[in-house]
Amino acid sequence: MLYSLLDISRSVLAPANIIAKQLETILATSQSTAPASKPVRQVMAAASMIERATRQYGKPDWRIHETVVAGRSYQVEPVTMRRSDWCQLINFRLSEDLPDRPKLLITAPLSGHFATLLRDTVEAFLPSHDVYITDWADAKMQPGSVGQFGLDDYIDEVTQSLQHIGAGGHVLAVCQPGPAVLAAIAMLAEDNDPALPTSMTFMGSPIDTRQSPTLPNLLAQNNSLDWFRKNMVYAVPAQWPGAGRRVFPGFIQISSFMQMNWTRHVDAHLNFFAQLVDQDEANAEAHRSFYDEYFSVLDMTEEFYLQTVERVFQEHHLPLGRFRYRGTRLIDLEAIETVGLMTVEGEHDDISGRGQTSAAHQLCPGIPDDMRCEYVQSNVGHFGLFHGARFNDHIAPKIKAFQTKIAS
């Protein structure tokens, strides 16, 4: 019912969106003949705020068109290398083939946002790596005929992506996929699969959520799985291709994220209004760019969401040595012996607390000490682990240096 009510409210507000957009356009056009007065700029700013608040945010484009390698500019094109009902493997192709660039698989989280949230992450590695990323499907767009998609299916997609890339690559698991990626690599190691990566890096991942539990961790611990099923899962409304499919809607996830930092988001929008009035276009555009991405959300299938809650956040299958693939194959992390392991945590991460990601080091005793790196970035929260200045200036260079060391 909640999902349907939200869609109805969006339909009701659609005329307000159109009017606000037209008003903003008319006032902006009038500025071409004479500078707008402050009251007019305030009306324009209000119209922009209303338009953005009533907008239906769709899947963003990658907007990665160019990169610079060794001082030379190359065009970039995202190309789908493999496709299933639930995942596309995207390769960011340069306008010319450059030899000897290490392959990097970025495993994007399936936790409410599209893979394009990692645009900064992709751009940071493009000058040095042949970059691939998992691009997950929005469950509300998948008709019931394509079947279910659970946590083990997610592991399959990661495994098949690694096998497509082939030997010698590196893996960067950003946030949520950490446990699934670790399980996939353990099975590749045990099977002596040639697709076993050279290194694996986990950033802000819930490997062991018993460490420094955060508000989302406590929510999972303090409520039963049935509570999540009754309060967080809804049927997709009739107007979507996935009508009737039961999902954890992205709008609930983004609402939860915003409530955790409500004051910060309110201040950001008040500042945005002031920037529009003051014609501070550079900062206003930075706000638009971030929130256009932040408000673009996807739905997760009921089975994937509930299995993740149960196996990762409630029962801690991986750190307790109880994680079974397809209910039968026990994941043996000790089988990983030749893959470099790096963990990256944020000092102020309020989603994956300190120690949750670095727990991977204890769980993988077979990896030699000289093939490990445990890094904590100061003055950064969860999103800062893969986005923004500290990621670009500190985190990404350390990951690249680690990968180079392991590959040498």
Q: Are 39 and 27 in contact (CB under 8 A)?
A: no
Separation of alpha carbons 326 and 70, rounded Å: 46
Q: Are 109 and 300 in contact (CB under 8 A)?
A: no
Helix, coil or strand: residue 366: coil
Separation of alpha carbons 158 and 43, rounded Å: 49
The two tokens of residue 135 are 């691009």
pTM metric for this prediction: 0.90
Q: What is the mean pLDDT of residues 371-389?
A: 96
Q: What share of the chain in percent tops pLDDT 70?
A: 96
- pLDDT confidence bin for 25, thresholds 50/70/90: confident
Q: What is the pLDDT of residue 368?
A: 98
Separation of alpha carbons 374 and 385, rounded Å: 14
Q: Are 103 and 371 in contact (CB under 8 A)?
A: no
Q: Are 39 and 66 in contact (CB under 8 A)?
A: no
- pLDDT confidence bin for 252, thresholds 50/70/90: confident
Q: What is the mean pLDDT of residues 292-311?
A: 94
Separation of alpha carbons 377 and 354, rounded Å: 11
Distance from the Cα of residue 28 to its chain's centroid: 35
Task: Cite the DSSP H helix spans in 31-126.
Answer: 38-53, 119-125
Q: Are 130 and 104 in contact (CB under 8 A)?
A: yes
Of residues 148, 312, 373, the one with CA closest to residue 245: 148
- pLDDT confidence bin for 171, thresholds 50/70/90: very high
What DSSP string runs through 321-373?
A: T--EETTTEE--GGG--SSEEEEEEETT-SSS-TTTTTHHHHH-TTS-GGGEE
* Bridge-based pairing state of the strands 87-94 and 130-136: antiparallel
Asked whether the predicted pLDDT for residue 34 surpasses 90, the reply is no
Q: What is the pLDDT of residue 113?
A: 92
Count CB-CB contacts under 10 A for residue 349. Answer: 25
Q: What is the pLDDT of residue 65?
A: 96
The two tokens of residue 26 are 């008319």
- pLDDT confidence bin for 299, thresholds 50/70/90: very high
